[in-house]
């Protein structure tokens, strides 16, 4: 039994997975936050609220590392932490810095900072020769216009320090580029109150299917857990619409994408970390989209668990404690698992769903969840806008995606337009 410091974590799918992993392993945790009110909302998906399982709740300035560290050191002297963990992208470097200061296991703070900044990731990977898109880091919109002329359209316009696909846009011309830059400038703080960098990342648009490689690196040894295929929609935005694990890839493509992901992690110096590396399969070979130094979101971690029995949330805890994780797959009875999301295409108020009744009881369905009526809906522009999802498995092969897509085709949100 160990005592972990959990820094500013849940509101997404990890809100269930991390506390579950801690509890099932018999660990205790102290929760560290700057703003407890951020978490005082209904429990995620009907589960017991994660804060109810915390041993302690400590309020501290988590957005100011210089003020935070001395307070954490005092808390450590009294409570005694064995590891530090977070499931929030915006606090991954903070958790790494705390662990390093307390002499606890964890990845290099510099590696985490580079992996969590898209511009820094691009620079490190380019210097190491890891394949990615041509890119430019711009100081402002005027600089972006000049850089775009050199790169050529179409382009992908990205913030350097947001997650969940927020404000990532495709630009086919200067007008769309200007619109994307205005949207970035109008969002100076992230959801956790941290001031954003004004820098803008431009990348050449990479055509081709997208996959992600789920890896665990522990004590210098990298392990590939598997590869997930991804579907993306959303017009000029890039909204993830579904995933299947494992990806239906030919052996040579599988070898190429895993080698590319491992090269990216090595270039960044990521160790003692669970990672989720997104890669485009282009006509010229795999190209790294981004490296996320934490377990995959959007239920991919659950897809992996349902197929392989490997719980990446539990693995994340083991790695944070400096323990060798169990990565041996076991037979779960499923050969593939997939999820599809209900992505709103218009604005309005959610009245009901057509075709949702009985979906949860359909053969092969693992989860079926739909938003409650009365919710205000906007057309999706990030992965934060879903109205629900269906997850299903296949016991015979790689048919899980087809099963999910068939079920999703019969479900329609009914919106009331103002």
C-alpha span between 149 and 336 (Å, rounded): 44
Tell me if 122 is assigned to some domain: no
Among residues 316, 332, 348, the one where a domain terminates is: 332
Q: What is the pLDDT of residues 23-56, one digit of tens each?
A: 999 999 999 999 998 888 766 565 677 888 899 9
Among residues 204, 222, 257, the one where a domain terminates is: 204
pLDDT of residue 48: 73
Tell me if 113 is assigned to some domain: no
Q: Minimum mean pLDDT among 108-112, 196-200, 232-236, 303-307: which range?
A: 232-236
Could you tell me if 187 and 215 lie in one domain?
no
- Say what the pTM is: 0.95
Domain extent for 64: 3-104
pLDDT of residue 77: 97
Q: What is the pLDDT of residues 149-185, one digit of tens each?
A: 999 999 999 999 999 889 999 999 999 999 999 999 9
Classified as helix, coil or strand, 197 is coil
Tell me if 399 is assigned to some domain: yes
Helices (H), ranges, 27-173: 65-79, 92-102, 109-116, 118-128, 141-151
Question: Domain holding 211: CATH number?
Answer: 3.30.470.20
Rg of the chain over Cα atoms, rounded to whole angstroms, equals 21
Q: What is the pLDDT of residues 210-235, one digit of tens each?
A: 999 999 999 999 999 999 999 988 77
Question: Domain holding 170: CATH number?
Answer: 3.30.1490.20
Tokens standing for 43?
């429990």
Neighbouring CB atoms inside 10 A of 354's CB total 10
Domain count for the chain: 4
The candidate with the shortest Cα–Cα distance to 362, out of 392, 323, 385, is 392
Specify whether the CB–CB gap between 92 and 112 falls below 8 A. yes
Tell me if 109 is assigned to some domain: no
Could you tell me if 12 and 100 lie in one domain?
yes
C-alpha span between 178 and 112 (Å, rounded): 31
Angle at 249 between CA 264 and CA 269, to 5 degrees: 10
The candidate with the shortest Cα–Cα distance to 387, out of 342, 351, 353, 349, is 342
pLDDT of residue 40: 81
């Amino acid at each position: 039994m160990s005592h972990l410091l959990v820094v500013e974590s849940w509101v997404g799918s990890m809100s269930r997975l991390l506390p579950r992993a801690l509890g099932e392993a018999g660990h205790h945790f102290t929760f560290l936050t700057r703003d407890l009110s951020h978490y005082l909302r209904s429990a995620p998906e009907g589960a017991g609220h994660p804060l109810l399982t915390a041993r302690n709740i400590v309020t501290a300035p988590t957005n100011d590392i210089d003020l935070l560290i001395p307070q954490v050191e005092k808390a450590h002297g009294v409570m005694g932490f064995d590891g530090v963990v977070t499931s929030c992208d915006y606090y991954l470097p903070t958790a790494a810095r705390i662990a390093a200061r307390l002499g606890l296991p964890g990845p290099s703070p510099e590696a985490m900072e580079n992996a969590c900044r898209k511009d820094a990731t691009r620079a490190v990977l380019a210097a190491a020769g890891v394949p990615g898109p041509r890119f430019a880091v711009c100081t402002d919109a005027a600089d972006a216009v000049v850089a775009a002329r050199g790169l050529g359209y179409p382009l992908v316009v990205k913030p350097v320090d947001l997650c969940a696909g927020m404000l990532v846009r495709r630009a086919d011309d200067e007008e769309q580029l200007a619109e994307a830059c205005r949207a970035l400038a109008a969002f100076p703080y992230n959801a956790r109150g941290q001031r954003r960098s004004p820098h803008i990342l431009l990348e050449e648009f990479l055509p081709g299917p997208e996959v992600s490689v789920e890896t665990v690196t522990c004590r210098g040894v990298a392990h590939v857990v598997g590869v997930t295929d991804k579907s993306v929609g959303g017009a000029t935005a890039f909204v993830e619409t579904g995933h299947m694990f494992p990806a239906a890839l030919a052996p040579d493509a599988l070898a190429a994408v895993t080698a590319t992901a491992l090269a990216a992690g090595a270039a960044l110096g990521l160790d003692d970390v669970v990672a989720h590396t997104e890669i485009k399969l282009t006509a010229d070979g795999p190209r790294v989209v981004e490296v996320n130094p934490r377990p995959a979101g959007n239920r991919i971690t659950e897809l992996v668990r349902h197929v392989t029995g490997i719980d990446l949330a539990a693995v994340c805890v083991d790695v944070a404690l400096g323990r060798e994780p169990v990565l041996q797959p076991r037979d779960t009875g499923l050969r593939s698992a997939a999820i599809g999301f209900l992505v709103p295409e218009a604005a309005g108020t959610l009245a009901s769903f057509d075709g949702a009744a009985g979906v949860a009881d359909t053969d092969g369905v693992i989860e079926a969840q739909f938003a409650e009526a009365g919710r205000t809906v906007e057309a999706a522009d990030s992965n934060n806008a879903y109205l629900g999802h269906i997850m299903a498995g296949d016991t015979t092969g790689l048919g899980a995606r087809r099963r999910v897509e068939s079920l999703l085709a019969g479900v329609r949100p009914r919106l009331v337009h103002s």
